[in-house]
């Protein structure tokens, strides 16, 4: 079986073109949309991601600033910064970069981000709005999975989707987004008994657990669609997904590549959220 590559390049380009046009229009009205990234770590991978977001924002006429609180910042310090940025009318979007300092939980500090500025949908309030089906920003990675599938003409309504991973930043919100698309969703995790039996019964399998090569051909049925959210560093230093791509190719009908699949769409959606927040704030 030929396995279609579900690349995100074209979708990301279309999203970015629309975002750039809307950001330019906002700038012409008096102020460029502004994103502030709050960092409290010295993690190299985090630093790389922050720089990539800054470059993406610059290309799209979005102002992007970084507040570095240091790797030893306390929860109180982080919360105070997020509260101040949420109250600043010159800031449209606020994003808290992970990992956080030891002893600081994301849920404890992210609640300080106002939902209207929580462009990556990480706060308990944003997640609650998503679960209730109310307007708000969903986590960009979870949204990217749904949008990538739809852009490639993969139907979701009535399909059985197995989501491997139950984090608050991908797995759980993705389940909510898939339910909104009328899919039947099974959320799998580390305590799932006989994972291959569960995932191989699904029409679509989403790998979002953060373990390189966890899912193999044994985890999917013939003709299934596989969406790989994982971004792990391989033995050679290259980025690899949660799916053993070589094993799955030829059995899956479609597979999103890593890199080049979910990633570019995630960044494009995050930037679109910033512009949407700016439009809502200044309408």
Q: What secondary structure does DSSP assign to 45-98, as a single string? A: HHHHHHHHHHHHHHHTT-EEEEEE--TT--HHHHHHHHHHHHH-TT--EEEE-S
Q: How many angstroms separate the CA atoms of 190 and 16, rounded?
A: 36
Q: Token digits for 181?
A: 């698309």
Residue environment code for 136-163, b if the CB has 16+ CB neighbours within 10 A, otherwise e: bbbbbbbbbbbbbbebbebebeebebbb
Nearest 5°: phi and psi at 179?
-60, -40
- Binding residue per annotation — 165? yes
Q: How many angstroms separate the CA atoms of 206 and 85, rounded?
A: 34
Q: Where is 264: in which H helix or E strand?
A: helix 262-281
- Binding residue per annotation — 167? yes
Please return the burial class of 51, using the count of CB atoms within 10 Å of its CB with bins 0-12, 13-18 and 19+.
exposed
Q: Would you say 29 and 87 are in contact if contact means Cβ atoms under 8 Å apart?
A: no
3-state helix, strand, coil split of the chain in percent (to 5) is 40, 15, 40
- Binding residue per annotation — 166? yes
Instruction: Enumerate the known binding-site residues.
Output: 165-167, 231
Instruction: Enumerate the known binding-site residues for NADP(+).
Output: 165-167, 231
């Amino acid at each position: 079986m030929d396995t279609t590559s579900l690349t995100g390049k074209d979708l990301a380009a279309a999203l970015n073109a629309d975002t750039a046009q809307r950001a330019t229009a906002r700038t012409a009205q008096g102020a460029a949309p502004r994103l502030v990234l709050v960092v409290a770590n010295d993690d190299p991978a985090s630093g790389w991601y922050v720089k990539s977001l800054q470059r993406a924002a610059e290309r799209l006429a979005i102002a992007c600033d970084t507040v570095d609180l240091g790797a030893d910042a306390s929860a109180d310090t982080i919360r105070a910064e997020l509260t101040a940025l949420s109250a600043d009318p010159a800031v449209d979007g606020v994003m808290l970069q992970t990992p956080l300092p030891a002893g600081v939980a994301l849920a404890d500090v992210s609640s300080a981000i106002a939902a209207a500025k929580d462009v990556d949908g990480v706060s308990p309030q944003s997640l609650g709005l998503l679960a209730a089906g109310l307007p708000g920003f969903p986590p960009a990675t979870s949204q990217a999975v749904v949008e990538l599938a739809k852009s490639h003409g993969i139907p979701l309504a009535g399909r059985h989707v197995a989501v491997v991973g139950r984090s608050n930043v991908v797995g759980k919100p993705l389940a909510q987004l898939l339910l909104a698309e009328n899919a039947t969703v099974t959320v799998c995790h580390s305590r799932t008994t006989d994972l291959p039996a569960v995932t191989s019964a699904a029409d679509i399998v989403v790998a979002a657990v953060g373990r390189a090569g966890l899912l193999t051909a044994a985890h999917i049925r013939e003709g299934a669609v596989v969406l790989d959210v994982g971004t792990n560093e391989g033995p050679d230093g290259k980025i690899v997904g949660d799916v053993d791509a070589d094993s799955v190719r030829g059995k899956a009908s479609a597979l999103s590549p890593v890199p080049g699949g979910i990633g570019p769409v995630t960044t494009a959606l995050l930037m679109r959220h910033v512009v949407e927040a700016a439009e809502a704030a200044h309408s």
